[in-house]
């Protein structure tokens, strides 16, 4: 390779490194310090519990649960065998714990 090719290659690699870093900053969620206290009520579950991904957190929100329920009902009606197979893949303990915590939180706010 010539010096001109090496310079062009180095410039391309530098631009790729910059764009990778921009993507990493945009896609990675902000990290919270363990002793810093959480700003939102659901942040304690995000530290290492279920759900960890942003997609699952969106699905487990109020609107996401309605959409997910409608899609699950449609799948159960259209293809019950596939729906039951997919249901077996869910981490049942984590889902049950999350649902119970939501139910207790709803009962507490309803009583207050």
CA distances (Å), origin 101, targets 26, 42, 51: 31, 11, 13
pLDDT per position as a tens digit, 64-102: 778 878 888 899 899 999 988 888 888 888 888 888 888
Closest Cα to residue 98, out of 71, 60, 58? Answer: 60
Mean of per-residue pLDDT scores for the chain: 78
- Asked whether residue 32 carries a pLDDT value surpassing 60, the answer given is no
- Asked whether residue 41 carries a pLDDT value surpassing 50, the answer given is no
Q: Is the pTM of this model over 0.75?
A: no
pLDDT of residue 13: 94
């Amino acid at each position: 390779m010539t010096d001109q090719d090496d310079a062009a290659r180095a410039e391309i690699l530098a631009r790729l490194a910059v764009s990778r870093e921009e993507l990493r900053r945009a896609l990675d969620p902000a990290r919270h310090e363990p002793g810093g206290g959480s700003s939102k009520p659901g942040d304690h579950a995000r530290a290492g519990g279920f759900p960890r991904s942003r997609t699952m957190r969106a699905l487990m929100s109020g609107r996401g649960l309605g959409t997910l329920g409608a899609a699950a009902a449609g799948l159960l009606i259209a293809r019950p065998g596939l729906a039951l197979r997919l249901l077996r893949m869910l981490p049942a303990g984590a889902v049950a714990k999350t649902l119970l915590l939501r139910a207790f939180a709803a009962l507490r706010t309803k009583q207050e």
